[in-house]
Amino acid sequence: MVRITLELIRKRSEHNEGEISTLEEIALHQENIDKIEVIGRHCRDLKILLLQHNLISKIENLNMLKKLEYLNLAINNIEVIENLEGLESLKKLDLTINFIGNLQSVKKLRCNENLEQLILMGNPCTDYEYYREYVVATLPQLRELDMKEIERSERIKALQVYARARDDVIEAYRCYEKSRLARQARRRRDATLEITEINETDTTEENKEKNRENTKEEQNGNANTEQDDESEDDRFWKQPSYHTPEDRIAIAERFARKQEKKNRASDKKADLSKRELKLFAPDGRPYNMNQPKVPFKLNDEDDPNFVILEVAVYRHLDTSYIDVDVNPTYVRVTIKGKILQLTIPCEISVEKSKVQRNTTTGSLVITMARLTPCVTIIAKKDESTTTRKKLGKRESKVITIRPPVTSRRAFLEIGPPSDILDLLKITEDPAKRGQRNVLARGKEGTVEGFEDNPDVPALE
């Protein structure tokens, strides 16, 4: 089970910048907490305390919270209302779905004069016949009970039947105690039977395992453990539940164990998948890498005496998270545990190198002095030779002149060429064209072997 520690409180007080002493609200729900501690000593300015959905069985260590106005203890294992007398400013108390059977413990809330809202829904005491009348008559300062407003007439009636309601509550609590003890005994008996069954199955399985081969056991070891876990889970969830605090604790432990196994399996996978970071090759050559994925610029051309590396580090990153290691052949920059490593094209003098950071942009500038400065030789060109070469090129240049290509118009019709385009030829019938040719020939002269018959009408 989880304990309330200062580390847990700081983790849940991020809205207050991690300050515990001035904390006014904190939520510690669904943490499997089984005991209230530390809060009353260190968080005295609390006004809202949320502890729902835990495994708390007793209300304690809250008397120092004089400013507390709202306390939520819903879905826990509380059986008695107690130790709330010191909460002078308490206005709302939520005890939904607990195991409060002793309704007479409500009397202890009379000291909380500012208490206006009380929620007891889902508790065994709400099944009592005179439950509401007893609470209304016992706590005159209440305005709401179980999210329902208390009217004046209801309070008068509750005071009238208070004596009868008190006797009924006492008798109902006795019956509840008997059933509670019977449930506990039945649960213990079922637990012992379950243990004996498990032992018997274990003995039979041991005998079977002795007969198996060692190789098969090694291969199927993981599968057997998974099957055992599944069968155990099935057995647990199929057994009857008696709705007791012990059952709720057992369920929480079961879930915690299952989650722990999952986390263990995921950690193993992460370890297997995690690759070892190699900074150097087998021959000692440093690798180039950029784990933080920051932009950088390595300049080794502008200055013959220095090699300048500029790394665009995050602007608001504190310099304490940056580490620079300059070596003769490589430079390494570590940014929050992530490595930027670059090989340098020339040998570096480590003693003469320096590291600076820009205060405005946050970029990191590493100036590394070369061990042997570069010597640049600039060759002067002879103008006469260059001009001579240019002239020679001009003289030797061959220019080819091609004749211009003229386009000629072509027609689809076959006939004597003519410069005038006859548009009638596009739709003219070939038979008519043949007749016209014959007439044209007749006008020019008679054709050999042609006899003109006067009886035949002339062609038009």
Q: Are residue 168 and residue 295 in the same domain, yes or no?
A: no
CB 241 within 8 A of CB 247: yes
Helix, strand or coil for residue 246? helix
**Is 313 contained in some domain?**
yes
**Is 383 contained in some domain?**
no
pLDDT for residue 405 is more than 60? no
Tokens of 97: 């779905």
> Among 370, 387, 409, which residue terminates a domain?
370
% the chain with pLDDT above 90: 43
**Residue 53 is part of a domain; what is its CATH number?**
3.80.10.10
Q: Which domain holds residue 132?
A: 6-176
What is the reported pLDDT for 420?
58
What average pLDDT does this structure show over 201-223?
52
**Is 352 contained in some domain?**
yes
Q: What is the pTM of this model?
A: 0.54
**Is 227 contained in some domain?**
no
Q: How confident is the model at residue 395 (pLDDT cuts 50, 70, 90)?
A: very low
**Residue 294 is part of a domain; what is its CATH number?**
2.60.40.790
- pLDDT tens-digit map of 108-132: 999 999 999 999 999 999 999 999 9
> Among 338, 370, 402, which residue terminates a domain?
370
> Among 313, 339, 370, which residue terminates a domain?
370
84-89 LR contacts (CB < 8 Å, sep 24+) = 84/59, 84/108, 84/109, 84/111, 84/112, 85/111, 85/112, 86/62, 87/62, 87/63, 87/112, 88/112, 88/113, 88/114, 89/47, 89/114
What is the reported pLDDT for 440?
54
| Half-sphere exposure for 386 (CA within 13 Å, toward CB) | 4
**Is 193 contained in some domain?**
no
What average pLDDT does this structure show over 274-302?
87
What is the reported pLDDT for 145?
95
pLDDT for residue 293 is more than 60? yes
Q: Give 79 or 396, the one with higher predicted confidence.
A: 79
**Is 295 contained in some domain?**
yes
Number of domains in the chain: 2
